[in-house]
Amino acid sequence: MNEQALITDAQSGNLDAFNTLVLHYQDSVFNTALRILGDEDQAADASQEAFISAFKSISSFRGGSFKAWLMRTVTNACYDELRRQKRRPTTPLEPDTDDGDEMDSPKWLADPNMTPAQQAEADEVEHAIQHCLDHLPLDFKTVVVMADIQGMDYTEVAAAIRVPLGTIKSRLARARLRLRECLQGFAELLPASYRLDEGLAQ
């Protein structure tokens, strides 16, 4: 895939060229939205909005990392979605599982201090990590999702969210520290090789 040629074609209004880029980046965009929003449906909507917005404003792309530019678009779409949620909160009291059953102990109610019995309810490491991500401040969450989950380097993250490199370093360090503290509550769920107990005990 010649990304630069596709971008140039898309900038001249070629929708097929842009759709080729969409197919290449849609998983990354969706995963970023999913980790920021913590909900698949909302993440899918935000991803679609992000691609529409990206096509409409692709003429403003002046080179550099296209992925970083795309990530900025998706984070903006996620922020819009979160603002919308704030205005019209629709969180169910008892969220459903994938099977449609009500969760007795939904992950969003879990906290690092919950009992071992409650911890057992969070049966997936992924849910535990998502829970911890959801409790991070939005700025920290965005940086940690881009750097640690999407594997972007500091420069790309700085370009994506338009903050200085020093701020990225600071936010990332503090986000990792908070995640470490949060994951302490899920220590029993984590794979043995990634247990944090020893480090946290000190």
Partner 1 sequence: MNQRDLELLSSYLDGQLTPSDSARLETRLNSDGQLASTLDDLRAARTLLRQLPKRRAPRNFTLTRKMVGLNPPLPRAYPAFRFATVVATLLFFFTFGVNTFAPQLVQVSTFGMGGAAATEAPAFAQQAPVMEAAATEAPATEVPLESASSLAPLATAMPPAEDSARVAETPMTKIGEAGNAGGLDQPQVANEPPRPAPLIPSVWQTAFAVVALVGVSLMAILRRSSANRWK
Binding residues vs partner 1 (CB under 8 A): 13, 15, 18-19, 22-23, 26-27, 29-31, 34-35, 40, 44, 47-48, 51-52, 55-56, 125-126, 129, 144, 147-149, 151, 153-154, 169-170, 172-174, 176-177, 179-180, 183, 190, 194-196, 198-200, 202
Least Å distance between CB 154 and partner 1? 6
CA distances from residue 118 to 39, 54, 92 in whole angstroms, order as listed: 22, 42, 20
Residue closer to partner 1 (CB basis): 134 or 148: 148
Least Å distance between CB 59 and partner 1? 13
Between CA 170 and CA 143 the distance in angstroms is 10
- What size, in residues, is the chain? 202
Residue closer to partner 1 (CB basis): 52 or 138: 52
| Structure tokens belonging to residue 186 | 């899920």
Least Å distance between CB 60 and partner 1? 15
Least Å distance between CB 34 and partner 1? 6
Cα four-point dihedral sign 158, 182, 192, 27 = negative
**What's the CA angle centered on 47, arms 9 and 61, to 5 degrees?**
35
Residue closer to partner 1 (CB basis): 20 or 89: 20
| Structure tokens belonging to residue 41 | 């449906």
CB 96 within 8 A of CB 163: no
CA distances from residue 70 to 108, 132, 202 in whole angstroms, order as listed: 29, 25, 41
Residue closer to partner 1 (CB basis): 85 or 167: 167
Residue closer to partner 1 (CB basis): 88 or 107: 107
Least Å distance between CB 26 and partner 1? 4
